[in-house]
Amino acid sequence: MLKKLAWCVVLVFMFNQNGLAQLPDFTEMVKTNGVAVVNISTTQKAKPEVPETAQKEVPMPEGMPPEMEELFKHFFNNPEGGGNGGGNGDAQSLGSGFVIDKNGYVLTNHHVVKDADEIIVKFSDRRELVAKLIGSDARTDVALLKVEATDLPVVSIGEPSKLQVGEWVLAIGSPFGFEQSVTAGIVSAKGRSLPGGNYVPFIQTDVAINPGNSGGPLFNMDGKVVGINSQIYSRTGGFMGLSFAIPMDVVMNVVAQIKANGKAAHGWLGVQIQDVTRELAESFGMKKPQGALVSKVMPDSPAEKAQLQIGDIITEFNGQSIEKSGDLPPMVGMTPIKDKATLKIIRQGEEKIVNFNIGLLPEQIDKVVDSKAEKAKPTNRLGLTVSDLTAEERQLTQVSKDGVLVQNMVKGAAKNAGVQLGDVILRLDNQVVHDAASFEKIVKNLPTGKSIAALIQRRGSPAFLALKIDK
């Protein structure tokens, strides 16, 4: 009995030792790289405040423990506590950054230094230097700074392409102004596409990232920077296990352009795209959902010159597979302007190769408009009532020709597919809807029990929906 007990103790000890041996030790990495991580503070001249809002405080995050409220107020509602300011003095913000060149080049996020009148870089040895903004790029959220210093400690740049999901990573930054804070976690996913971040295939991690970590480095286990911590997903404003970093290959591409030209340029195809759902794949005769579905071709764009069409499904870019629509923009965006590129597409069930030259992404702002329509009684198989567009409605909906305006609807195929009042229907079952008469004619001949692709325009943006009329 004693012998068996002794063996059990030995086995438990060995298991614990092996388990501990598998956990990473970050101490040496932090000692080596922490000195190259900096705290960044900015000031912006205060604007005259409206009396009603002058004393308005930042609301407390939902579910915040009482013991944290004072700390939150200190950083966000105290004019001397960093954060967003809140007093009558200059607005202040805090972020992180890291040195990539011993002669003073520092990287951070665009949103950390945006509109700053002064940028201060604080080093781990307590030195504080005024930085010059060399250039920044809002689309990738990258900014390059320069301080007048030499022989600075620098980080090593790694290769994000070699990162694997489940791999340990570490972040160093200044969450809520607490300098040189270290947090660790794993890579949760790669190639994430986020709203407003179409040109960045984000690295998703569960590393604890909070306000103030923005612009700080994400290290792999070799002690090399693989990304810049940029965004978090949160319902409270604090860490919830979803953090996103900009891959360093994207970052260094932007840095090279900023050094050469003072700004970054991004490749452009000139299409609006969306994912292919299971229902849409069925309507296009595809065996599985895949690729980027073209819902709009921009005028005078490389896509128009290459004769891409609405309804084309892009499945490859320069030989790289496009599994979902979010894969395409970063590939195009990082390709040098005027380079030749090749697309593989599916058009009406047939594969085709399209060649084009990469264009320069223009500076443009999408306008969002709401369409107002009078109600009428639905009369057709889709449960819709439509009307021809007036000149004013065409201006509001940004539809220059063809299409019909959805005036009213009841429960049915269109409503189930997500059609909304004020939508403009441009195509049904790959047929152009010229006017209300042609719409009714097409609807009468639609098959039942089969997914049909419908192209609609909503608030200035086109999108495909899959309709199915029940038998």
Question: Could you read off the pLDDT of 198-207 as tens digits, one per residue?
Answer: 789 999 999 9
The whole-number pLDDT of residue 165 equals 96
Question: Within 13 A of 127's CA, how many CA atoms are on the CB side?
Answer: 13
In a domain, 283, yes or no: yes
* Cα–Cα distance for residue pair 400/396, rounded to 1 Å: 10
Q: Do 403 and 449 share a domain, yes or no?
A: yes
Report the pLDDT averaged over residues 374-387: 67
pLDDT tens readout for residues 28-38: 999 999 999 99
Confidence grade of residue 417 (pLDDT, cut at 50, 70, 90): confident
Overall domain count for the chain = 4
Q: Do 78 and 104 share a domain, yes or no?
A: yes
pLDDT tens readout for residues 445-467: 888 888 888 898 887 888 898 88
Catalytic positions, written as ranges: 111, 141, 214
Looking at 245, 261, 277, the residue that finishes a domain is: 261
Residue, of 457 and 64, whose pLDDT is higher: 457
Residue, of 67 and 334, whose pLDDT is higher: 334
In a domain, 389, yes or no: yes
Confidence grade of residue 340 (pLDDT, cut at 50, 70, 90): very high
Q: Domain of 400?
A: 384-468
* Cα–Cα distance for residue pair 362/67, rounded to 1 Å: 49
* Cα–Cα distance for residue pair 469/380, rounded to 1 Å: 11
CATH number of 334's domain: 2.30.42.10
CATH number of 166's domain: 2.40.10.10
Assign 19 to helix, strand or coil.
helix
275, two tokens: 């994912």
Q: Do 244 and 309 share a domain, yes or no?
A: no
Nearest CA-CA partner of 323 in 284, 360, 357, 273: 273
